[in-house]
Amino acid sequence: EAGVTQFPSHSVIEKGQTVTLRCDPISGHDNLYWYRRVMGKEIKFLLHFVKESKQDESGMPNNRFLAERTGGTYSTLKVQPAELEDSGVYFCASSQEIGSLETQYFGPGTRLLVL
Amino acid sequence: AQSVAQPEDQVNVAEGNPLTVKCTYSVSGNPYLFWYVQYPNRGLQFLLKYITGDNLVKGSYGFEAEFNKSQTSFHLKKPSALVSDSALYFCAVRDRGDYKLSFGAGTTVTVRA
């Protein structure tokens, strides 16, 4: 079974540019999460999808970040325009269902560097 | 609110020695606790979790963790470390009824041959 995949693995852009990150969850997983780790600090929650619906986007830093999950399959996270403080590692995770036994499985992350 | 503290940025041990990575947590209710590991150039891999029941949880690669409610701790342990255990370890907590994971800052483990 394929795990969570993310593309690209690395991205280097200049301040003010746009970047789109993609996440493909494990097949059959309705729940998809985005997290971010900035400058070696804690990994922080950004948002949660159930199928194509946003359940919780309380962790999104500001309106420069837009997440979508068309058709309830893969998800994209767009940063427009990017700022220096957006640099970090963006992780995607998926899980089959919400509940006491739920485990979130993570992808390899996208390393974003904004210059 | 929920939070996790990993008091050690780095842990260095010799191969064959016991390995302990410390984690303390804070939640308003009963916790679900997790350990993840990130090997170089790899994603976060799930190691083990505590949901309920036995306080000693066994996971992948010979790791185990002990839930201590009175000390609000969930330390990760391995009786005999391997060089291949060198990685970045994250402790995470989720309050029951919530789905967001809160992570610690991570602990870099280096096992020397």
Q: What is the pLDDT of residues A25-74, one digit of tens each?
A: 999 899 999 999 998 789 999 999 999 999 999 999 999 999 999 888 99
The more confidently predicted of residues B30 and A100 is: B30
The answer to whether B43 contacts A109, with C-beta atoms less than 8 Å apart, is: yes
B105 Cα to chain A: minimum distance (Å) = 4
Q: What's the confidence (pLDDT) of residue A101?
A: 67
Region B74-93: what's the mean pLDDT? 96
Write out chain B residues lying below 8 Å of A43, CB-based: 44, 90, 92, 101, 103, 106
The answer to whether A103 contacts B34, with C-beta atoms less than 8 Å apart, is: yes
pLDDT tops 60 at residue B91:
yes
Give tens-digit pLDDT for A100-111: 568 899 999 999
Q: What's the confidence (pLDDT) of residue A2?
A: 76
**Between B36, B51, B52, which is nearest A106 by CB?**
B36
The distance in angstroms from the start CA to the end CA of chain B is: 41
| Rounded distance between C-alpha atoms, residue B26 and residue A17, angstroms | 39
| Rounded distance between C-alpha atoms, residue B11 and residue B18, angstroms | 11
**Between B43, B46, B100, which is nearest A45 by CB?**
B100
Is B2 within 8 Å of B102 (Cβ atoms)? Answer: yes
Residues 77-106 of A with CB under 8 A from B: 91, 93, 98, 100-106
Write out chain B residues lying below 8 Å of A42, CB-based: 4, 102-106
Region B54-80: what's the mean pLDDT? 95
DSSP code string of chain A: ----EEE-SEEEE-TT--EEEEEEPPTT--EEEEEEE-TTS-EEEEEEEETTEEEE-TT--STTEEEE-GGGS-EEEEESS--GGG-EEEEEEEES--STT---EE---EEEEE-
Q: Confirm or reject contact between B4 and chain A (CB < 8 A).
A: yes
Comparing CA positions, the residue from A84, A48, A80 lying closest to residue A63 is A80
| Rounded distance between C-alpha atoms, residue A110 and residue A13, angstroms | 13
Q: What's the confidence (pLDDT) of residue B95?
A: 84
**Between A31, A59, A107, which is nearest B43 by CB?**
A107
Q: Confirm or reject contact between B26 and chain A (CB < 8 A).
A: no
A41 Cα to chain B: minimum distance (Å) = 5
The 3-class secondary structure across A87-112, one letter per residue, is CEEEEEEEECCCCCCCCCEECCCEEE
**Closest chain B residue to A37, measured at CA:** B105
